[in-house]
Structure 1
């Protein structure tokens, strides 16, 4: 992939630099990887995997075999689909799970300390805690129980710095917060003793056939009731395939016996509630009949006493046959009237049911027994069938509204027909009742021929017999209701209960965590490398200059490891000295190419301060001087003079003094410890440096220096800060523009690129300073002298293990 810079159009993302930068973070990557892998390993060995067990039930539409055509109490449901949906909703309801948690007291957790965490041991604990019903218990904190022997134990807890704790009453489910006066406690009790602590009230009872180990430690913890219910609801799954009566119940938990108990108790409570609901109609009927029997029985007793008292008072012990026949006739009329009244009652009940209900599949429909009109029974049956069909469609069809509208129209039409039939039948019965009342009235008038005492006796006797008949009727109805209730079975059938058959824990491949951990470290490393590379605007390799500018690269200078800037003088056989000799050779080749004879002038500048401009000027001057050439180094950076310190010279007089006419050339020239090298420092800082550098005196100075020296090195100000160096370019036979690795910003080269492109600056070259063979990222870019040069240098840097490995990899 080619990455680079178009110095006409702008900068592109340097993918190569991004890769090397990312590789340079390998130490941080390894450190992060070690930390994350340790965290993952620590979590893996502490991970407690749960179990998952299940049970299967089916929902049936069991009809009571004792229901016959003469049974007055019947049940009509909406079919299997409606029942399955109802059961599914019940199993997943919070109310149902609250019953299960309450039944098993799962808000109490029995724990035992394991290697890494406290383990839920459920019923494996050798004891059981029986809390006081009306008391509040602390929630969310483990209470330690240490068995001292088979009869006694110690209760202790340490709540540390807590100022308040939360308590809950598990009967009312109320929660309250109380202040904590004492956070540490330790008390000794015997089994069966009542524990009356501020946050724990109850008894600890030893389980049967359990063995107590001395000094064994256990913990009990009360959990918030609502939170406990929510946790079981989240891991409790009920599945049902469409149009199937089979339901599969599954629960995931860390304790298998708890799973078995929870699922089986859940199904038991569901079965109990469903049967209770199925028997509710019969139960309500029995309660109503019991009330009526009590009332009728009282009336019957009073009328029997009245009859006996009348007969004893009037000494009547026999009834004439005519009176008996008349009485029988009236009683027959009364029975017929009672039958009509029952029919009217049945019609009113049916009418009320039709007017007060919209769904006839989920509720019990009153029987049509006793209604002689056949059309009513037929139409009611059709309504029930249509309601059952609507219930099935509601379970299987979700969005087809037209189907439900059609069924509702059919049910509505049949309902109107039934209501009209009821009104017509009631009118007929009421007409017959009027005729029957007339017959009764006429028959009772015949009693006027019977003696008054006998008439009163017959009246009392008729009331008694009527009450007796009503009492017998209610007794029969109650017997039917008891029979229905006793013979009902639940529609929930347990196919396969939850059972521990040795199932293992839910297997999870934890090794995948290491893969995620690897990328968790790798991605941030690459992200940081990308962001830094994207926003990085500095030079990091000599090759960057080829992408940024058309100005040639004259030489590469390494890092200076000497105490001052006199690198060539201090270590003339070092790689640094060889680098400056290479620059000297390149300059001589440039002069020869341009046919320059006599004294030559070299101008050294840079973009900003700190790029090594003065360091480069000093050592280029030194390398020329050491070759036997008369060389002078002129400090023209009048604003920030530097070169005098390295040569242990003073800056009291210099170029400024000569340019303003105070000193002659011979007075400002200073000799150095380097043979053939003279220095002209800048001198005191003037108020107008730019005007001095472009003055005629400056022209005369350069001309005079050319008569005395072979090479003139000009150390000028940075062109990125002031324009002085640009004014001095006319004196230079060759210009050196110093850039520094990991310091010079790329956009700083814009000015010199424009000047070179427009022809203002000629014979200019780059000097790449402070080059690190490893580069910023720990890898070289292919520049340097290699092993060949090392044989001629005083110091050969030894490579470490990782550097050797990287070098072999690069080769």
Structure 2
């Protein structure tokens, strides 16, 4: 398997953080506890929603009645615009006037504040002024014998105020009424005026979306900590939205009725005048009977004048359209009027410009006015608006052309009538004026009657399919999800922290850290004690166990060489050599010899109260001494020693180039049961590993809070590189023990061991 595979990285990470598993667990539990604490103080939020059905205009018409078309056609170009309208301040303003968000009331339960909405002991109303400094700040209302006092963290106020009277305070000007007795203070929060409430509360909590893409159903949702208030607000908003459509239709219808009343008044006067003139003329000239030709011309002339009156009405509407286009952004409301003129291309342009304006509103929320797509969009909107204006002006030109054509025809028939006798001509003019005014008056009366009936039967373009509903299950915070996330984040943080500690900590502190870094067997674990009162029984037992483990691998017919080294200086390899040999020669009567190959800083001889002799391993390996001159007796039976001798200038070269070393070990194996070799540490002399080939068993001594991770890793790499076998570990770890548990019988007497290294 590739050493750089993801699996190996995960295994390595696991190895590094496992020693800190309890710290990781503590951090994870701490994160969960902190999240639980946060959730305790975080109020639950509930969502109320309603479903509205929207009638969307499809720009089709069945009637050619201008006034009825203007009234009945829906003033929308798309459901997106309706959703945008629901989120505007003007629509929400109506709902905010019915539902109270201006003042919130809180009581203390346990260690947290809880908002109350029903059964309020006090009520703040008729607010005429609010200090902006205290908007959304806690103001405590404390009950007193003769009234109440107000205070906050920012303002300490000792004034006593009366209930049911307007009070002028540093926080607000208004009236506080008491509806029930209360003992503990009540906290109130002022939310500002309606605009401030909309910008800071409503906009963040209101959402409007299309229920399904292929339907005209809109879902209006509002989130609040009080589900009842959320329901009330949604119902108020839906009602305001529905009533908006009715109000708009009634406003349009009222304008039409005003226009009709004005025209009726003018036409009635004309009709009365023409009727009086006709009656007077008939009373004076009783025997007038127009000819058939004059009657035909008279009838056609009446029709032409009626058409001219209709064109005049349409021209007035066209003029209103031109003014409206010039001064209004939303051109949606002119669509019904354009249908009368069958201006389908212009209607399509209105649909396009409304869709572009929706995109413009969306981009304005996220980007500045210099944002290139927004600039291009506005150029396109201006271009379409110009085209709409041009199309409407062309309609006016067409009407003007038709009017001129009718005027020419009128002139033609009027010339025919001028050829009639004077009395007959006057009679026809009087009668024509009367009939034209009568027809116009009748037409206007019919339209007024129709629109009065429509006004009474006006219904909204929107319908509430589902009224407000709030579930008893809060939508946020998702407590279980957040606790799980807190646990995962805590676990991750703990792992990262453990990894940092692992990477920054240079020394080994636990046995497990060694086991995770190097795959070598442990031959012994030697306890160390903080109390320096000698060696206790536990240490002796530990060395006995180490000796027993070595005896399992002992060769029967020849001596066994045990090499003892360490990764760095100070790990206690020399002490291990002495105590291990002491166990063997005292308890088992094995004949043993100590060989000091630490020619860098020899110390083995000092443990036997010996000066460094002039003869030793350095003189032997350099062929200046024979074997007989370098073996020294100790005061202990069955235990001899070969000291290091004089320190050579290059110990590494002496050890690696000498052929006498192998001959020495052959001779010693014949004379002794155990040969213990004390060597320099691996850090001091990396070539020490070359001596492993002479040993039957090699022990590497490691010590808690002394052995470094770097030296251990280098040692492992060297062992793998040289493919060394028969190597084991001895770990020395600190143990705390009471003084009464300590024993003093030494393995080697204090007289002969003046410097005991532990």
Does residue 145 of the first structure (1) align with residue 159 of the second (2)? no
DSSP-derived class of the 2:602 partner? coil
Distance (whole Å) between structure 1 residues aligned to residue 347 and residue 220 of structure 2 = 32
Q: Following superposition of structure 1 onto structure 2, how do residues 488-637 of structure 1 map, counting pairs within 5 Å?
A: 488-494=458-464, 497-498=467-468, 504-506=472-474, 556-561=523-528, 574-584=541-551, 586-589=553-556, 592=557, 603-606=563-566, 608-610=568-570, 612-626=572-586, 627-628=588-589, 631-637=592-598
DSSP-derived class of the 2:524 partner? strand
Aligned to 1:131: 127
Equivalences, count: 658
Does residue 217 of the first structure (1) align with residue 191 of the second (2)? no
Q: Is the 8 A contact 2:699 2:728 kept in 1?
A: yes
Aligned to 1:638: 599
Distance (whole Å) between structure 1 residues aligned to residue 55 and residue 442 of structure 2 = 36
Aligned to 1:268: 239
Could you say if the C-alpha distance between residues 291 and 120 of structure 1 is closer, same or farther in structure 2, counting changes exceeding 3 Å? farther
- Cα deviations by residue, 1:637-692 (Å, 9 ceiling, x for unpaired): 22233335555555597748967999999998876564443555546755444466
Aligned to 2:410: 433
Post-superposition shift, 1:90?
2.6
Could you say if the C-alpha distance between residues 82 and 680 of structure 1 is closer, same or farther in structure 2, counting changes exceeding 3 Å? same
2:161 to 171, 174, 189: 189
Post-superposition shift, 1:203?
0.8
Aligned to 2:95: 100
Aligned to 2:749: none
Aligned to 1:339: 306
Could you say if the C-alpha distance between residues 278 and 15 of structure 1 is closer, same or farther in structure 2, counting changes exceeding 3 Å? closer
Q: Is the 8 A contact 1:349 1:366 kept in 2?
A: no
Post-superposition shift, 1:28?
3.3
Q: Which runs of 5+ in 1 are unaligned?
A: 160-182, 305-316, 369-376, 395-413, 450-457, 758-763, 775-793, 795-811
1:254 to 225, 228, 252: 225
Could you say if the C-alpha distance between residues 666 and 227 of structure 1 is closer, same or farther in structure 2, counting changes exceeding 3 Å? farther
Post-superposition shift, 1:222?
1.9
Q: Is the 8 A contact 2:605 2:612 kept in 1?
A: yes
Does residue 722 of the first structure (1) align with residue 718 of the second (2)? no
Q: Following superposition of structure 1 onto structure 2, how do residues 703-714 of structure 1 map, counting pairs within 5 Å?
A: 710=672, 713-714=676-677
Q: Is the 8 A contact 1:567 1:577 kept in 2?
A: no
Distance (whole Å) between structure 2 residues aligned to residue 541 and residue 479 of structure 1 = 98
Q: Following superposition of structure 1 onto structure 2, how do residues 369-518 of structure 1 map, counting pairs within 5 Å?
A: 425-426=402-403, 428-435=405-412, 438=415, 485=455, 488-494=458-464, 497-498=467-468, 504-506=472-474
DSSP-derived class of the 2:604 partner? coil
Could you say if the C-alpha distance between residues 559 and 190 of structure 1 is closer, same or farther in structure 2, counting changes exceeding 3 Å? same
Aligned to 2:739: none
DSSP-derived class of the 1:189 partner? coil
Could you say if the C-alpha distance between residues 133 and 445 of structure 1 is closer, same or farther in structure 2, counting changes exceeding 3 Å? farther
Post-superposition shift, 1:429?
1.0
Distance (whole Å) between structure 1 residues aligned to residue 21 and residue 338 of structure 2 = 86
Could you say if the C-alpha distance between residues 444 and 561 of structure 1 is closer, same or farther in structure 2, counting changes exceeding 3 Å? farther
Distance (whole Å) between structure 2 residues aligned to residue 201 and residue 12 of structure 1 = 66
Distance (whole Å) between structure 2 residues aligned to residue 443 and residue 366 of structure 1 = 43
Post-superposition shift, 1:386?
10
Could you say if the C-alpha distance between residues 636 and 220 of structure 1 is closer, same or farther in structure 2, counting changes exceeding 3 Å? same
Q: Is the 8 A contact 2:149 2:157 kept in 1?
A: no
Post-superposition shift, 1:133?
5.7
Distance (whole Å) between structure 1 residues aligned to residue 130 and residue 222 of structure 2 = 31
Distance (whole Å) between structure 1 residues aligned to residue 661 and residue 19 of structure 2 = 51
Could you say if the C-alpha distance between residues 690 and 74 of structure 1 is closer, same or farther in structure 2, counting changes exceeding 3 Å? closer
DSSP-derived class of the 2:160 partner? strand
Q: Following superposition of structure 1 onto structure 2, how do residues 795-810 of structure 1 map, counting pairs within 5 Å?
A: none
Distance (whole Å) between structure 1 residues aligned to residue 678 and residue 182 of structure 2 = 91
Q: Is the 8 A contact 2:41 2:112 kept in 1?
A: yes
Distance (whole Å) between structure 1 residues aligned to residue 184 and residue 536 of structure 2 = 82
Does residue 117 of the first structure (1) align with residue 77 of the second (2)? no
Aligned to 1:787: none
Q: Is the 8 A contact 1:612 1:738 kept in 2?
A: no
Could you say if the C-alpha distance between residues 204 and 117 of structure 1 is closer, same or farther in structure 2, counting changes exceeding 3 Å? farther
Q: Is the 8 A contact 2:45 2:226 kept in 1?
A: yes
Post-superposition shift, 1:471?
11
Distance (whole Å) between structure 2 residues aligned to residue 701 and residue 254 of structure 1 = 91
Distance (whole Å) between structure 1 residues aligned to residue 306 and residue 11 of structure 2 = 105
Post-superposition shift, 1:556?
0.9
Distance (whole Å) between structure 2 residues aligned to residue 136 and residue 289 of structure 1 = 51
DSSP-derived class of the 1:75 partner? helix
Q: Is the 8 A contact 1:137 1:201 kept in 2?
A: no
Q: Is the 8 A contact 1:14 1:533 kept in 2?
A: no
Q: Is the 8 A contact 1:156 1:185 kept in 2?
A: yes
Could you say if the C-alpha distance between residues 347 and 132 of structure 1 is closer, same or farther in structure 2, counting changes exceeding 3 Å? closer
Could you say if the C-alpha distance between residues 603 and 463 of structure 1 is closer, same or farther in structure 2, counting changes exceeding 3 Å? closer
Distance (whole Å) between structure 2 residues aligned to residue 485 and residue 385 of structure 1 = 29
Could you say if the C-alpha distance between residues 114 and 729 of structure 1 is closer, same or farther in structure 2, counting changes exceeding 3 Å? closer
Could you say if the C-alpha distance between residues 673 and 585 of structure 1 is closer, same or farther in structure 2, counting changes exceeding 3 Å? farther
Aligned to 1:800: none
Aligned to 2:700: 738
Aligned to 1:770: 731
Q: Which runs of 5+ in 2 are unaligned?
A: 274-279, 290-294, 356-390, 736-744, 746-758
Aligned to 1:156: 151
Aligned to 2:292: none
Q: Is the 8 A contact 1:635 1:714 kept in 2?
A: yes
Aligned to 1:374: none
Q: Is the 8 A contact 2:543 2:579 kept in 1?
A: no
Post-superposition shift, 1:266?
0.8
- Once the two structures are overlaid, the 10-residue window that deviates more, 691-700 or 481-490, is 691-700
Q: Following superposition of structure 1 onto structure 2, how do residues 651-670 of structure 1 map, counting pairs within 5 Å?
A: 655=616
Distance (whole Å) between structure 2 residues aligned to residue 195 and residue 479 of structure 1 = 55
Aligned to 1:799: none
| Aligned-CA RMSD value | 6.7
- Cα deviations by residue, 1:386-427 (Å, 9 ceiling, x for unpaired): 989x99xx9xxxxxxxxxxxxxxxxxxx99999999688545
Q: Is the 8 A contact 1:153 1:190 kept in 2?
A: yes
Could you say if the C-alpha distance between residues 187 and 20 of structure 1 is closer, same or farther in structure 2, counting changes exceeding 3 Å? same
Could you say if the C-alpha distance between residues 631 and 226 of structure 1 is closer, same or farther in structure 2, counting changes exceeding 3 Å? same
Distance (whole Å) between structure 1 residues aligned to residue 582 and residue 56 of structure 2 = 110
DSSP-derived class of the 1:187 partner? coil
DSSP-derived class of the 2:136 partner? coil
Distance (whole Å) between structure 1 residues aligned to residue 488 and residue 65 of structure 2 = 77
Distance (whole Å) between structure 1 residues aligned to residue 78 and residue 666 of structure 2 = 116
Could you say if the C-alpha distance between residues 115 and 288 of structure 1 is closer, same or farther in structure 2, counting changes exceeding 3 Å? farther
Distance (whole Å) between structure 1 residues aligned to residue 348 and residue 668 of structure 2 = 119
Distance (whole Å) between structure 2 residues aligned to residue 71 and residue 213 of structure 1 = 65
- Cα deviations by residue, 1:589-636 (Å, 9 ceiling, x for unpaired): 3xx2xx67xxx8655445544555323432343345435466443433
Q: Is the 8 A contact 2:561 2:669 kept in 1?
A: no
